[in-house]
């Protein structure tokens, strides 16, 4: 189910947009055998600023909030407790937000191949394919393109959207062109640490999701044979394709 509730809705999404997911071979094998996509718990994703308000909560904002709270409470210790509680809440919430990441460039990226799948594969899909692949799942999903900002200068949009801070990353990561799918696990007050798993495999319709499985010349013979066996086992041979980066130029 795609959530339409205002607090979670991020932005309008172009459903025909191509998206790519770079995978090691063993991750592809698990994806096919489990018929699932892996969602990592956001505090375990290698993005330290996830759910940080640094890009919007400037020093001036902090001063203003402190002044307002002082006038309302007339008690500096309560002001400190509230600000600390808000930070603790955001840190704990990271343990309940799960993320699945895709590359949203218009074509393959050599840099992304080298970074995430040097001897792996690339899943080519579209946002509408992804949507169709999870439409029978009862979980609630949210989609967003990541926006890249200078956390020292820029301010992120503060629209009261619960997931908005997860839609921003530092400007130096801009080459990732990340598209994110979110799941928010239920939690209660008082907030407690999530002692569950560090990730979750979410059931999807693999046939609807995958448009192509792309490989490149970095695979050795043993790895390629394993890939051939995998796609044959799951009736995906027709979707196997060689990387456009392997084309020999005509001089």
Cβ(117)–Cβ(219) under 8 Å? no
Whether residue 98 has a cis bond before it, omega within 30° of 0: no
Mean pLDDT, range 216-224, rounded to an integer: 94
Predicted local distance difference test score (pLDDT) of residue 196:
64
Residue 158 structure tokens: 């503060």
Predicted local distance difference test score (pLDDT) of residue 191:
54
Residue 240 structure tokens: 């196997």
Residue 117 has pLDDT above 70, yes or no: yes
C-alpha atoms less than 13 angstroms from C-alpha of 76 in its C-beta half-sphere: 1
Residue 146 has pLDDT above 70, yes or no: yes
- Lowest mean pLDDT segment, chosen from 1-10, 49-58, 113-122, 161-170: 1-10
Q: What is the pTM of this model?
A: 0.80
Predicted local distance difference test score (pLDDT) of residue 243:
95
> In terms of pLDDT, which residue wins out, 5 or 198?
198
Residue 125 has pLDDT above 60, yes or no: yes
Average pLDDT, the chain: 80
Residue 39 structure tokens: 């969602």
- Lowest mean pLDDT segment, chosen from 69-73, 146-150, 153-157, 238-242: 69-73
Give the number of residues written for the chain. 251
Predicted local distance difference test score (pLDDT) of residue 135:
83
Helices 221-233 and 25-34 meet at what angle, rounded to 10? 10
Predicted local distance difference test score (pLDDT) of residue 4:
43
Residue 97 has pLDDT above 80, yes or no: yes
SS3 string, the chain, reads CECCCCCCCCCCCCCCCEEEEEECHHHHHHHHHHCEEEEEEHHHCCCCCCCCCCCCCCHHHHHHHHHHHHHHHCCHHHHHHHHHHHHHHHHHHCCCEEEEEEECCCCCCHHHHHHHCCCCEEEEEEHHHHHHHCCCCCCCEEEEECEEECCCCCCCCCCCCCCHHHHEEEHHHHHHCEEEEEEECCCCCCCCCCCCCCEEEEECCHHHHCCEEEECCCCCHHHHHHHHHHHHHCCCHHHEEECHHHCCCCC
CA 2 to chain centre: 15
Which pLDDT tens digit goes with each residue over 34-52? Answer: 999 999 988 887 665 554 5
Residue 90 has pLDDT above 70, yes or no: no
Residue 80 has pLDDT above 90, yes or no: no
Q: Determine the Cα–Cα distance for residues 160 and 231; give it in Å rounded to an integer.
A: 44
Closest listed residue to residue 3, CA positions, set 182, 200, 226: 182
Predicted local distance difference test score (pLDDT) of residue 244:
93
């Amino acid at each position: 189910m795609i959530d339409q509730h205002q607090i979670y809705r991020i932005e309008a999404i172009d459903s025909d947009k191509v998206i790519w997911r770079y995978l090691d071979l063993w991750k592809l094998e698990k994806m096919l055998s489990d018929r699932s996509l892996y969602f990592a718990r956001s505090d375990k994703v290698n993005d330290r600023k996830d759910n940080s308000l640094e890009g919007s909560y400037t020093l001036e904002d902090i001063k203003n909030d402190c002044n307002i709270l002082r006038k309302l409470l007339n008690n500096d210790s309560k002001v400190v407790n509230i600000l600390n509680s808000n930070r603790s809440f955001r840190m704990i919430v990271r343990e309940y937000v799960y993320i699945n990441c895709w590359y949203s460039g218009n074509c393959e990226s050599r840099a992304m191949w080298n970074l995430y799948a040097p001897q792996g594969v690339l899943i080519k899909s579209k946002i509408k394919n992804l949507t169709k692949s999870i439409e029978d799942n009862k979980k609630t999903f949210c989609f967003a393109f990541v926006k890249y900002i200078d956390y020292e200068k820029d301010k992120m949009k503060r629209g009261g959207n619960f997931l908005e801070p997860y839609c921003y990353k530092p400007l130096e990561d801009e080459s990732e062109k990340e598209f994110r799918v979110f799941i928010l696990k239920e939690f209660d007050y008082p907030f407690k640490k999530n002692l569950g798993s560090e990730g979750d495999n979410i059931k999807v319709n693999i046939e609807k999701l995958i448009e192509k499985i792309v490989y490149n010349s970095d695979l050795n013979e043993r790895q390629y044979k394993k890939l051939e066996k995998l796609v044959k086992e799951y009736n995906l041979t027709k979707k196997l394709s060689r990387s456009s980066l392997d084309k020999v130029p005509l001089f």
